[in-house]
Every structure is written in structure tokens, then in C-alpha cells.
Amino acid sequence: MKLILAPMEGLLDTYLREIITCVGGYDWCVSEFIRVTTMVLPVKVFYRSVPELLNAGVTQAGTPVYIQLMGNDPSVIADNAAQAISLGAPGIDLNFGCPSPTVNGKGAGAILLNEPERVHQIVQATRQTVPVETPFMAKVRLGFDHTDNIIEIAQGIEAAGADMITVHARTSVDKYKAPARWEWLARIRESINIPVIANGDISDINSFSECKSVSGCDNFMIGRASVRHPFLARQIRQSTQQQTIQKIKWTEQQELLLQFSILMRKSDNDIGSASRVKKWLNILTKGSPENQLEAKLLFEKIRTVTKLEQIIQLLKITDEK
């Protein structure tokens, strides 16, 4: 079984990837998408988006970070994949699932699911630049506004040479509305021979077990729940290995917040860094039920604080009480 930490634009960046992968449980993570249009991007763009490339392509915990590319020109995407590989990317992921109207309006992301042949061409061209020993996959949704093309798309991605396919079990117009249609994952899995990575609505151990049962998948990508429940992957592994599932104390979550805040010192935007910490804490207020109250109380305490160092001190003071 493989567990993958999903990309989340504007949230799961290098700082949060480092914290969550240090908790453990994930086999690899995928970067936020790097948008490519008409040219090979400069090296500095890759380093800025995925600083882990300066650390052999892994987080401080040793978890590989696969580079996600998004665009609609087969040769340009292929050339940028080659650039990423030359910089040490441990894997390449192609984004055909982004539901953003801005992205779709420019002919990228999930809108390409209306063009199965174009998806095939992009994957095929990229496969030619990605060494066979380097993991290479594509992420899709069930379609843009219907599911009529998904089997053809999945078969085309396999025929083009991808090693795996991640399927978010919703269409683009579904956005993130529940429920994810896991039954479609089973149909896709039965139509191809490469692994299908299940994505969508895996929010706790029970939903993981249900997704596994309905989809028949052995590999899973976790997105929003990984931020709400940073210990979820570790707990899932405990459940699948018939181990005692360890309850997570609020002090453990708070320590992650503190370490995240300290990491954010590396940013040159103090107010922005403070906002990032508060944003994650606000998300944790909707996380593990047993820790929601403590998260809400702490959020009220730092909600109006604008200086990162003040937040760090408050986290330390609170932790020592």
C-alpha cells in the first residue's frame, strides 16, 4: 500500500510538507503545480516552487517530492519535465485535474479531460523525456462535466506510458462537493493494468476503509484531510497493520504548529507568515474531534496577532503551562 500526500495550491507548500512528512506515513508527496506555457522555465522557478530539489528532491524527513507540471502543449511540458529531472526530481506528475476556472479558461487542468487525445499526446511526449526508472504519473478527475470519457482517458494514459494514474473521484464541476464516487475508481482500475491511486473524501480511518472496499485500490492520495489531520497517514498504517491506533494529544498538534511557525521564519514576509500559521490553526479547528476545542481556544488567542515572533512565543508559553 502506498499513501501519497496530495498537492494543495497555496497551502501545502515546502514548509507544511516538511512538517507533515516528519510525522510519517507518506511514501511520497506531490508539489503544487508548476504552470508551463510556451517555454522551458528557468531553474530558479523550479527551486522556488520546490526547494527540496536542493536537498536531493526529498523533504528533511527523506520523503520524495514529485514535481507536478500543468499545461497543454505536449512538447513544452515534456521539455520542462526534462528540466525537472535534470535538477534531481525523483518523480513527475502531470495535472489534468485542476478545477480552477482561471486555469481551465487558459486550456489547462481539468478542461483537457474533454480532449482524451490531447491528454494522451501530453503523456506520451513527456514519457519520452522521463527515464524509465523515474516514477511518472498523471492526475485526473472523472471528467470535466461528465464521466463519458474517463475510461478512454485512463486507457490512453496507460498506453502513453504512465506508471500510475491518480483519480480524484469527482468531475471538475463537482469541485469538492461530497460524495466522491469511489465506485468509478473500481471501473477504471478494472479497465487498465497500471495502479490507480484513489483520491477524494478520505478524511479518517473509516472513510479510508470504505474507499478501499468500494474502489479495490491499494494506493491512496490524501489532500485536505492531511492538513486537518496531520497524523492521519500514520494512523491509517497502524489500522492496516492491526496495531493499536494511537490517540493524538493536542500538545502533539500544538508542537507541530510551533515547528511550522519556526520554519516560517525563513519567509521574508512576516505578516504573511503569521497569516499562514493562523490559517493552518483555523483548519485544525475542524480536524480531530477530540482536539477541536483546544484548537479553537488557541485560535482565538492568536487570531489578531500579526507578528510571527509573537505567535511563536505564545505557542511556547501555552505549551509550557
Residues annotated as part of the active site: 98
Return the biggest CA–CA distance within the chain. Answer: 60
Contact predicate 40/78, CB 8 Å: no
Type of residue numbered 223: G
Tell me the three state secondary structure of residue 172: coil
- DSSP-derived letter for residue 288 is -
Contact predicate 64/91, CB 8 Å: yes
**Residue 168: closest CA among 105, 95, 234:** 95
As given in the structure block, the three cell numbers for residue 250 are: 493536542
Q: Torsion angle of alpha carbons 32, 17, 134, 53, nearest 10°?
A: 90
